[in-house]
Amino acid sequence: MNNVIEGSQYPTQEIEAIVRKTMNIGLGVMGVAELLVEAGLPYGSDGARVILGQSLSIIQSAAKEESMKLAEWRGTFPLYPGSVWEQINEPVRNAALTSIAPTGTLSTLLDVSGGIEPIFAVAFTRTTNEGHVLKYIHPKFVEIAKQEGFFTKELVEKIIERGSVLDVEEVPPKWKEVFRGAHEIHWRDHLLMQAGAQKHVHSGVSKTVNLPSSASIEDVMEIYAEAWRLGCKGVTVFRDGCRGEQVLTTTSGREKKGFYMSGRKVQGEWGNLLPIKLPDDAPARRFYVETPVGELQLTIVTDDEDKPVEVFGQVGHAGSDINADVEAICRMTSVALRSGTPLWYVVKQLMGIGGRSSIGFGGNRVRSLPDAIGQVMNKHFLGVENEQTVQSGDCHLDICPECGSAALVHESGCDHCQVCNYSKC
């Protein structure tokens, strides 16, 4: 590393002068979380801090010993006179020897955690620069589960769906604590690990305190204040969901206090799109609608913001051809809703579909089963969330090129927007 400093070229003379005067290097670590798993210690525990401190102390001592050997035949760094090193009479080649870098890309290549960070989550999705979404479950968890006899394929699927092991009964209590994800560790435990590491590191320690999206401004202020009190040189706070795009997201995609579809990432890419999985329990609303083929019993499952995520329907007795059609329509509607298709667009595709007969008159006219489903979602969900609802009848709604609303109708030979009054003519 010393040779790299001496042989490198620098963008400005000022940077080169500073680097060559101090000869700082940054020996560090990664994979600390995996080390703690091997030791069976929860991140942030007393035992974890002891192991981390001892490991970094050994690295720092060895680095200082080698740097002193270098100084014997290459000389001390130019700013050595008057430095702390001179005061303790330890001539070294490098002013600073150790640092904890993020090691994001390197740790990914080696399939270990970055720096001194905990496991982000037992299961998570990683978004690449190209926009690809990769599903991941920690290999150490799989290895331990097999060794201790509680591994099953169903368990893996459950953990991938939830992104956590804390509420999974099949996982023993000990391993629930060891495999806590970054969001499940109290922020003070994050800081205590960083402060313990800082005692044995010359330069800074890269450390992120992961917070749930419910964290307040006061929480963040307290974290920065406590980091200062503990002697940390710096700290990063990341509240989940604070950015529209983030590299790592848990597969659960929801806070424990509720189930929300807003802001969730759809997993997959073109040709391999996977609808978001739903929790075991979710609220639902039931509707009864008269259609040309009989009364439709419609159940619409929603998230905690009353947004439709799944649709079930039945007409008459189960097992009939009509019910097969109803099931197909409801399944595909559910897939669209859980794959990120806007509700207004789903409603637009369903409403207005007609068959050989209809029931009702005017605005209450129902032309078919899909028309009935579309009308229910339009009236009870889309109309609540948006003042503009998709209109039925003979007019065909398209996207307005001016305001982007689904309110462009073709009237009297001209396209006209009912929202912004845009007119093509």
* Residue the block writes with tokens 């998570």: 124
Predicted structure pTM score: 0.57
What is the predicted pLDDT for the residue at 261?
52
- Chain Cα centroid distance, residue 367: 42
What is the predicted pLDDT for the residue at 281?
81
What is the predicted pLDDT for the residue at 304?
77
Within 13 Å of residue 128, how many CA atoms lie on the same side as its CB? 9
Q: Count other Cβ atoms within 10 Å, centred on residue 302.
A: 17
What is the predicted pLDDT for the residue at 413?
53
Structure tokens at 82: 């008057």
Q: What is the pLDDT of residues 330-360, one digit of tens each?
A: 999 999 998 888 888 899 899 989 877 888 8
Within 13 Å of residue 256, how many CA atoms lie on the same side as its CB? 7
What is the predicted pLDDT for the residue at 392?
41
CATH of domain 1-120+181-250: 3.20.70.20
- Dist. CA 97–CA 99, nearest whole Å: 7
What is the predicted pLDDT for the residue at 394?
36
Which helix H or strand E contains 37, and what residues bound it? Answer: helix 32-39
* 3-state class (DSSP) for residue 392: coil
What is the predicted pLDDT for the residue at 386?
36
- Dist. CA 142–CA 41, nearest whole Å: 17
What is the predicted pLDDT for the residue at 196?
95
What is the predicted pLDDT for the residue at 164?
86
* 3-state class (DSSP) for residue 237: strand
Structure tokens at 389: 């609802």
Q: Which residues of the chain are modeled with pLDDT < 50? A: 244-245, 253-260, 384-397
What is the predicted pLDDT for the residue at 411?
55
Nearest to 405 by CA among 424, 392, 418, 415: 418
The residue type of 48 is A
Q: What is the pLDDT of residues 253-280, one digit of tens each?
A: 444 444 445 555 555 556 667 788 788 7
Within 13 Å of residue 272, how many CA atoms lie on the same side as its CB? 6
Which helix H or strand E contains 124, and what residues bound it? Answer: strand 123-127
CB 207 within 8 A of CB 236: yes
What is the predicted pLDDT for the residue at 388?
40
Which helix H or strand E contains 295, and what residues bound it? Answer: strand 294-302
